Structure 1
Amino acid sequence: MSSGVKRAAGCGCGAVLAVIMVISFVGWALSFMDGAAPIRQLQPIPDNVPPAVGEPVPGIDIYAAGRTSDSLRFWSDPIAVDTGISTQAVAAYGNAALIAAESWPECGIAWTTLAGIGYVETRHGTYNGRVFGGSSLDGNGVANPPIIGIPLDGSPGIARIEDTDGGRFDGDTELDRAVGPMQFIPESWERYGRDANGDGYADPHQIDDAALSAAHLLCTTGGSLTTPEGWTQALYAYNMSNEYLINVRDAAASYALRQPVI
């Protein structure tokens, strides 16, 4: 995907995010006014590429019927508490990493890299571009309301992509839009979409499917993500942007330390 395409793929609400971040920082700063330090001191973020792999994902039966990520909840629950990611999103990233290790053994993708992408794209299926009325993952791991990006209409800095899915995923029968927790363009979903929750249907709005499909894209385009060259190549395939790569790297490194992204 080109950088123009991926810029269009997002929600296009950077200004809103900036305001939210300023408000969050002010609230954090005010915590010092009574002389008390924050409850938790976060560790410095390493700038290694690839970022650290984080807490090892325990082995489960990835061939079992149904939503195999549910079997990882005992592992994802404490990580979710430490990082601020929902437990089912952490489990989805871990599940995807296990399936990728079996399907593309040379890839070596870590769940933290998938979590880094999930954070940058949609805050793990919760950010949809609205100041009020954000999305959340329902009990089945589906982002509700659906997260749908701006139309790829060829505006300055944005690629033009005519509709490829008949509006099936993005509700737009004229132009494509990026969709779901990992912000897939329908055209790319057609190539990389995979079913990971065992319902026989690859759904870009469902976190397990989206995470595995992101792993499929990264492993197919990057080769070995255990090397700086392979990881960088894979991230550029997802979004040809240095800023994007750094943001994903930093988020992944933060999660490897079992702490939230600031």
Structure 2
Amino acid sequence: MLVAAIAIGAIAGCGQSPGDSRTVTAPVTDEIPAIELVAADRHTDALQDWASKRAGKLGIPVRALQAYGYATVALAKTQPDCHLGWTTLAGIARVESDHGRHRGAKITGDGQVRPVIRGVALDGTNGNARIVDPEATSRAGKTVYAQAAGPFQFIPDTWKRWGVRADIDYKSLEKILANGKPGTSKGSLGSADNIDDAALAAGRYLCASGGDLSTGRGWRDAVFAYNHSDAYVRQIRAAASAYASK
């Protein structure tokens, strides 16, 4: 599961409770230009103009928009029935990390978020889940609680299941995405602290959780799976809709 451990810069929700899927409609989104999916070191360059034209009015870093756009295009090609919109990824990243800018963090040219962003220790206090990080616990010789990591706030176990490098060769990436199931090789896992990898992993998770995100039910189920909170679903919809309307 994903845990939104640090609802950073949370946007006040609005509208009806999404407990009944009939009260939720999927936020609209604008189209992303067709690009060649080569998944090389400069795989997001083709979206430079698209992102630059929107960054200022949306208040989103160009590099973050490129990541959301690339993930959306890659999933549209490999999972065309999902209909993930870039505005949904942007809404989640806004609430989780202010697009990788939490506490002054910045996104480097290769997509790394520095300094890294970490959520609170998930030790079961203050309403948080209690999740032990087994690998860190083994290394430390004492109990270490998991922390959500990166601009999309993945907990370690979820990253192991859905993480993926965005810059691996496209044929390999296509196989991973088209499968629609969790898991990949260790060498293709990527980093939750890289905004390209994190956006793509978040998209994988959302598509697997919601099915068709163009429907109210599918979109709500996907976002609710990301964080089991009706208030969170409202926050993300408000953020995504705001980006779509500008």
Common topology (TM > 0.5): yes
Whether 1:137 and 2:107 are equivalent positions in the alignment is yes
Deviation at 1:103, TM superposition (A): 2.1
Post-superposition Cα deviations, 1:217-251, rounded to whole Å, max 9, x if no partner, equal: 00011100000000000001001111111111111
Alpha-carbon distance change, 250 to 176 in structure 1, aligned in 2, over 3 angstroms: same
Alpha-carbon distance change, 64 to 107 in structure 1, aligned in 2, over 3 angstroms: same
1:176 to 146, 157, 169: 146
Q: Identity of paired residues, percent?
A: 40
Whether 1:76 and 2:51 are equivalent positions in the alignment is yes
Post-superposition Cα deviations, 1:157-183, rounded to whole Å, max 9, x if no partner, equal: 11111114438xxxx971110000000
1:95 aligns with: 70
Whether 1:107 and 2:82 are equivalent positions in the alignment is yes
Q: Secondary structure at the match of 1:154?
A: coil
Distance 1:257 1:46 in 2: 16
Q: Secondary structure at the match of 1:6?
A: coil
Distance 1:164 1:105 in 2: 36
The 8 Å contact of residues 46 and 253 in structure 1, kept in 2 or not, is answered as: no
Distance 1:225 1:69 in 2: 24
1:126 aligns with: 101
2:122 aligns with: 152
1:26 aligns with: none
TM-score by length of 2: 0.80
Whether 1:85 and 2:60 are equivalent positions in the alignment is yes
Distance 2:107 2:39 in 1: 23
The 8 Å contact of residues 160 and 189 in structure 2, kept in 1 or not, is answered as: no
2:42 aligns with: 67
Q: Quick one: higher RCO (CA 8 Å, sep 6+), 1 or 2?
A: 2
2:232 to 225, 244, 256: 244
Post-superposition Cα deviations, 1:183-239, rounded to whole Å, max 9, x if no partner, equal: 000110011101113495511000100000000000011100000000000001001
Deviation at 1:69, TM superposition (A): 1.3
Structure 2 gap segments, 5+ residues each? 17-23, 170-187
The 8 Å contact of residues 91 and 240 in structure 2, kept in 1 or not, is answered as: yes
Q: Secondary structure at the match of 1:166?
A: helix
2:3 aligns with: 6
Whether 1:51 and 2:27 are equivalent positions in the alignment is yes
Q: Secondary structure at the match of 1:80?
A: helix
The 8 Å contact of residues 67 and 196 in structure 1, kept in 2 or not, is answered as: no
Distance 1:85 1:206 in 2: 16
The 8 Å contact of residues 92 and 211 in structure 1, kept in 2 or not, is answered as: yes
Distance 1:73 1:176 in 2: 35
Deviation at 1:105, TM superposition (A): 1.6
Deviation at 1:144, TM superposition (A): 0.8
Deviation at 1:63, TM superposition (A): 2.5
The 8 Å contact of residues 165 and 186 in structure 1, kept in 2 or not, is answered as: no
Between the two proteins, the alignment pairs up a number of residues equal to 215
The 8 Å contact of residues 52 and 253 in structure 1, kept in 2 or not, is answered as: yes
The 8 Å contact of residues 82 and 213 in structure 2, kept in 1 or not, is answered as: yes
Deviation at 1:67, TM superposition (A): 3.2
Alpha-carbon RMSD = 2.4
The 8 Å contact of residues 39 and 167 in structure 2, kept in 1 or not, is answered as: no
Alpha-carbon distance change, 46 to 72 in structure 1, aligned in 2, over 3 angstroms: farther
Whether 1:215 and 2:212 are equivalent positions in the alignment is no
1:202 aligns with: 190
**Larger Cα-atom Rg:** 1
Distance 1:100 1:215 in 2: 7
Distance 1:227 1:88 in 2: 29
TM-score by length of 1: 0.76
Deviation at 1:125, TM superposition (A): 0.3
